[in-house]
Structure formats: C-alpha cells, structure tokens
Amino acid sequence: MVATTPNDDDSPSASSDWRNRMKQFYDEAMDSVGKRPCESARADLRACLLASDCHQVHKRSLQECIKCNDGSVPPDCLALRQTFFVCKRSLLDNRQRFRGRKDY
C-alpha cells in the first residue's frame, strides 16, 4: 500500500498561479499575431527619415528621401534601409522558412 500525501499542485494557490502563467503566455502570443513582418525595421527607418534634413529641410517625401543620394540622408538611415531590405528579402527566400526571418 502506498501512503497518500496531500499534493501541493492541487492547492488553490498553485492552480491560480498556473492560470496566471498561461494567461500571460496566451496574451504574449496574441500580441505577436498582429505584428507585421519587418515592422521594427520599418518603424526605425521611418523615424530616422522623418528626422533627417532631407525631409525636414528639403521638404521631400520619405520615398524621395530613400532614393536620393545627395548626402542629406544620414548614414544611419542608409544602414537601416539596408537592414529593412535584407529583412524583406528574407520573406521571399524559401531557405528562411527553416532558419527564421532576419528581423533585428
């Protein structure tokens, strides 16, 4: 015969703790569902271009600022443009299905 002892997992506090952890996991999963691919790279590039002289001084659109090479766009924005390009390209690359998306 095996003696039975009260199980700590059956206590009400352990049950509510488990529910809280599952709720937190579920909420985090739902937050990531609505996120677009490369969203963080896009937001950083947009913020950088909005703060650049190309947009503020020369009054160009963001699309024109991405394409211009006159030095009014800082090198940080050009690096973010390259990062955004690599992220978008990884969406089309079938090898990335196994390796994961290159989001920074």
pLDDT digits (tens, 9 = 90+) for 12-41: 566 667 666 666 655 655 555 557 889 999
Which pLDDT belongs to residue 102? 61
**Residue numbers of the chain with a pLDDT score lower than 50:** 8
The model scores a pTM over 0.75? no
Give yes or no for a contact between 66 and 81, defined as CB atoms under 8 angstroms apart: yes
Residue 15: phi and psi, rounded to 5, are -65, -45
Which pLDDT belongs to residue 29? 52
Q: Is the dihedral of CA 89, 92, 96, 101 positive or negative?
A: positive
Q: Is the dihedral of CA 57, 104, 93, 29 positive or negative?
A: negative
Which pLDDT belongs to residue 65? 93
